[in-house]
Structure 1
Amino acid sequence: MGNLLAGVWGSESVGSGGSKRKVEEVLGEDEDLLDLHSVLHTPKKRKFNSTSKYIYKTLFEEGRASDVTVVALGTEWHLHKVYLCQSPYFSSMFSGNWSETNQSQINIEILDDNINIDALHLALGQFYKDDIEVEAAQVIPLLATALLLQMDPLIEQCTGIMLETINLQTVLQYHEAARRYGVVEVEKACKQWLLHNLLTQVTEHPSTLRHIPPDLMDELLSSAHLYVMQTEFSIYVMLKAWVFLKLNPSWEGSHEVAFLEAHKFFRNRTEPGWFLEAEGREFSTVFTALRIVYLIYHHLDVEMLYSDRILPPSWLTPASMHQWYNMLRIDQGKDRGPSEIPEEEFDKSCTRCGRVLANSGQHIWRWTGYNFGLDLVMTHDGSVLTLKRNHRSEYSAQPPRRYIMYRVTVASLNEQKQVVYTQTTGVQSASLVKNEEIRVMLLDSEVKYPLLLSANFLITTNQPLLAAGGDKTSSVAPSLPGPGAFNDSCLQRIAQ
């Protein structure tokens, strides 16, 4: 019985197992059919030549079905009026009562030396496609061509490429082109790049420094927003090297050697008189951009100014008188610092100094030189910039409270030395008692180092200044009272 049951159960088990396999086989076949169906009905992507690529290749590069030939710089392009009419230049040519309207060949006279065959090919090809690849070295010729052919979208693309690629190698070329073609946005960006990098990147590369034109140098040095490394005297030293490089166009070497050679050049001059009044008159306008009253803050600087024989006494003497006058006013309690003045006036009169903060660690420094007994110490601790009026025993006669105006600006740069972050206090006024410290700026937590720091200060009462040289007004000497006024003042003291 047991064997019978076992046999029965066994046979059923086998039968059941067979049925299960059949079901699985059927299901498997259905799944295979579903997979095949999915494969058959799932779109497969294969990249064919796009319509724009086909148009570019067959119509532009091969010139099929061309109805007009454009000739420029000895080269022919077999093109199509319907595409060229995207430009007002060609649209007006083909639709008006011009001699070219019904001609099959158009000759374009190229008078701009920036335009070349490669730029023409790129520009004309843009009528047939909607993307572009341009190297920075080719962008100026392409911009010139786009302006000639009145291709506004291409002009915008060139402008964008230039803004993205301003660096040490391109900045002067871009600035010249932007001025020539009226691309204000690029001109402004190039000037900003130079204001941040003139005293750092550019001075380290004599070949670039040499090619700064005088009018641009004058514009940069006249700006209160120039990032000066250390003090105003560093600008004077840079200008000496710039003049030397201009007068010796074939000289090559490192910036360290260039500065030494410039120093020797002026010390060894055999011509009589002062450089800017003799053979260097062409550079006088640029030198008037110097804030000469801030060049005579250290006795060694004064000695160099006179031994170089660049700036004539007619410039230096009024500056010395100006500082002496300010010192007397402070000593006699007549001047405790500037009151609030408009920013434009502050920009014309402030001293310019700065430094590079290499890392986020603590930095404590002062800018050396005579500051009318006001010892200002700046501190950076990674997140905060502070300013302290440090009281020194030798300045015991100083008034208990001094007034100053200041502006501090910081900037982080990317690999091309373009500004990626900037922060400024704007023009501020402060009154400081002895040893008082104030917070100047709270830095953004995302700030990147190294950090450029520019500081502008005004620590004496602002005075109208006289012209230094040429026709340009310069911060050299105050409008002091006339001789009669001094005589009246003397008589009053004698009478007392």
Structure 2
Amino acid sequence: MPFTVKTQDSLIFSYQEAPLPNTLSTSPFNVSLTNKVRTQAGITNRCQAKEDLGSDLLGRAQATKAVQMCFNETLQRILTGSRTYVVLESMDTLWELHSHFLSKSERLHELINTSDQSEYCRNKSPKTADICQAAGLYHCGRKDTCESKCDKLMKCNLCSIHNKENRWATTQIKTLKRMISLKLDVKDPHVTKEGFSIALGNLYNDKPEVEAEHILGVFAAAGVLKFRTLFKKCAIVMLENINTATVCHFHQVAMKYNQDRLKRACERWLELNLIVHLRYEVTLRDLNMEVLRNILLSPRLFTFTEYHVLQTILSWIFLQVNTEIRLMPLYSTIVAYFISLQNMVVYLEKEIRQKYFGLFQTVRLHGITETQQIEELQKTNLLPQTILLQVVTHNYYALQHGGDMPRAKYFPSEAIRFGFMLTEEPRYWSEIISYCGFYFELKAIQEKKGPSYSFFMQRLNHADTNLPYGITERKAFSLRQERELKYEIMVQTMIDEEWQVFTTGYSRQKFGITKKSCQSEVLLVSGLTMPVYVTFALLFPVS
């Protein structure tokens, strides 16, 4: 079916169906040069006849392509030539914009509706090209007409950055066009000039585009500009790029801009990766103290042992005190630093003990039983002597009374945690833990018939071949035939892009040394994707 498209500058896109090959007319067209016109076909400006030649396959292809492509440079000039120019003064920079694109930003739309007479004019003459990027702008004051002698802007930001000399072109009043002048004060420290520039550039895009490298500055700029589509796009990009380098900053902006979904995603990531990954990075410093405390108190927090929780707290305090550190040191270096503060009694008491005492309360100290770990607590002297005495007394009492925990009664916040990670797909995983002479083997076994995993634990006796060599000779080993135990097995993994929690719930069972009585309840989970976080929580009630 034939069609014709006309544009504002009389350029014509024409297309007509050609007859089938077996019906082509045999009478030739007599076309003279005078009958030829310049018509726009595709991205060219080739010479075509007024009549549509059925055999002109190239012309047909170009005409078809023309109506399927985006606007070419000629049409872009037509569309933008009659629009109003805007000068936005913000962040010590002048940004030249087009008014009809500003409606995407609620903030800029409000400014342009309430703007006064402009202080700037723009040089319309194409013959007065300047070296500088801002050379087309002239300061004329707020009068209806420019003065006889126009004052050029005294400073070009681009030239100042690159230490270049401002070279201005001469102009005349008749070549100047009044522009709309807007001013926007940006006080958000997260907004960078680069992020602001990317946000303004997205005003010209049908769909927002932003890279993860600049996401924080663009997100903050979108919030200042009230650029909703870009704001939502940034939130999606941040959800997909939470890691050790970004999680703390993402959580801060999520709190500031009330982004609950992003906030929950950051906190969920911290529950699983604070002790596994972030504890070894210097970006741990950026984590807010209140957020850190809430994460450590979370029932879904993953940790290998209770001692790892203490290590994380000491590492965070070390980074708060030593703000000049740019690389996370070894943990032994951190311990040595706190030991060196023993002579600074007043500083140690006011700046560390009292200030960060709330963090130490999150540690389940009765789960730290190794001699070397307790000696470290004593040498660093970060806890009051009364609490250290309670830890030693508790461990001695538990060892003498078959693991009894008389003060630990509330399972969710006082059970001792042991954990391991599955980062690949082994068919079998085993780890041995001990507490006051009782030894347990934690297991994860892949089922033969499918991708399911079984998670359980079993008690070991002193003659079990799975025990390491010499463990019964150098460490205490309980010979009690039965021991009642409260426990929970928790598995956390991502399924269908959502973190899922599988658990046995709180169980109570007597563990013996025979095959029938030594094994716990089995937690069977299918559809796992790596990594998998497995936690065994144990509590020994008074026997």
TM-score normalized by the length of structure 2: 0.63
- May I ask how many residue pairs the two structures share in their alignment? 407
1:426 Cα deviation after fit: 5.5
Does residue 313 (structure 1) correspond to residue 385 (structure 2)? The answer is yes
Specify which of 17, 32, 50 is matched with residue 70 of structure 2.
50
1:126 Cα deviation after fit: 3.3
Name the amino acid aligned to 1:375.
Answer: Y
Does residue 349 (structure 1) correspond to residue 414 (structure 2)? The answer is yes
Residues 121-270 of structure 1 mapped to structure 2, 5 A cutoff: 121-205=197-281, 207-229=282-304, 231-251=305-325, 258-270=330-342
CA distance in 2, matches of 1:135, 1:187: 20
Residues 56 and 129, structure 1, Cα contact 8 Å, conserved in 2: no
2:523 alignment partner, SS class: strand
1:457 Cα deviation after fit: 2.9
CA distance in 1, matches of 2:250, 2:416: 30
Tell me the equivalent position of 2:502.
424
Specify which of 268, 286, 289 is matched with residue 359 of structure 2.
286
1:408 alignment partner, SS class: strand
CA distance in 2, matches of 1:459, 1:51: 75
Residues 490 and 535, structure 2, Cα contact 8 Å, conserved in 1: yes
Does residue 303 (structure 1) correspond to residue 375 (structure 2)? The answer is yes
1:184 Cα deviation after fit: 2.2
CA offsets 1:226-283 (integer angstroms, 9 cap, x no match): 2112x10122133333333333334455x6x521211222333342659863542332
Name the amino acid aligned to 2:430.
Answer: I
1:289 alignment partner, SS class: coil
Name the amino acid aligned to 2:434.
Answer: T
Tell me the equivalent position of 1:366.
432
CA distance in 1, matches of 2:421, 2:72: 50
Does residue 388 (structure 1) correspond to residue 471 (structure 2)? The answer is no
CA distance in 2, matches of 1:275, 1:125: 51
Mark the CA change 1:368 to 1:45 in structure 2 (over 3 Å): closer, same or farther: farther
Does residue 75 (structure 1) correspond to residue 93 (structure 2)? The answer is yes
Mark the CA change 1:259 to 1:412 in structure 2 (over 3 Å): closer, same or farther: farther
CA distance in 2, matches of 1:54, 1:218: 61
CA distance in 2, matches of 1:53, 1:428: 69
Residues 249 and 286, structure 2, Cα contact 8 Å, conserved in 1: no
Tell me the equivalent position of 1:452.
533
Mark the CA change 1:30 to 1:319 in structure 2 (over 3 Å): closer, same or farther: same
Q: RMSD over aligned Cα, in angstroms?
A: 4.1
Residues 254 and 260, structure 2, Cα contact 8 Å, conserved in 1: yes
Name the amino acid aligned to 2:297.
Answer: S
1:178 Cα deviation after fit: 1.9
CA distance in 2, matches of 1:288, 1:164: 33
Mark the CA change 1:331 to 1:377 in structure 2 (over 3 Å): closer, same or farther: closer
CA distance in 1, matches of 2:251, 2:72: 35
Residues 403 and 540, structure 2, Cα contact 8 Å, conserved in 1: no
Q: Which has the higher contact order (CA 8 A, sep 6+)?
A: 1
CA distance in 1, matches of 2:189, 2:72: 32
1:158 Cα deviation after fit: 0.8
Specify which of 475, 483, 491 is matched with residue 409 of structure 1.
491
CA distance in 2, matches of 1:56, 1:158: 28
1:310 alignment partner, SS class: coil
Mark the CA change 1:54 to 1:287 in structure 2 (over 3 Å): closer, same or farther: farther
Mark the CA change 1:154 to 1:226 in structure 2 (over 3 Å): closer, same or farther: same
CA distance in 1, matches of 2:359, 2:524: 36
Specify which of 434, 447, 470 is matched with residue 512 of structure 2.
434
Tell me the equivalent position of 1:22.
none
1:354 alignment partner, SS class: strand
CA distance in 1, matches of 2:97, 2:108: 12
Mark the CA change 1:116 to 1:460 in structure 2 (over 3 Å): closer, same or farther: same
CA distance in 1, matches of 2:78, 2:193: 20
1:85 alignment partner, SS class: helix
Gaps of 5+ in 2: 1-20, 26-53, 119-179, 447-452, 464-476
Residues 55 and 128, structure 1, Cα contact 8 Å, conserved in 2: no
Tell me the equivalent position of 2:136.
none
CA distance in 2, matches of 1:422, 1:275: 44
Mark the CA change 1:47 to 1:133 in structure 2 (over 3 Å): closer, same or farther: farther
Residues 104-119 of structure 1 mapped to structure 2, 5 A cutoff: 104-119=180-195
- The percent of aligned pairs where both chains have the same amino acid is 20
Name the amino acid aligned to 1:366.
Answer: I
Mark the CA change 1:56 to 1:357 in structure 2 (over 3 Å): closer, same or farther: farther
Which structure's residues are more often helix, by fraction? 1
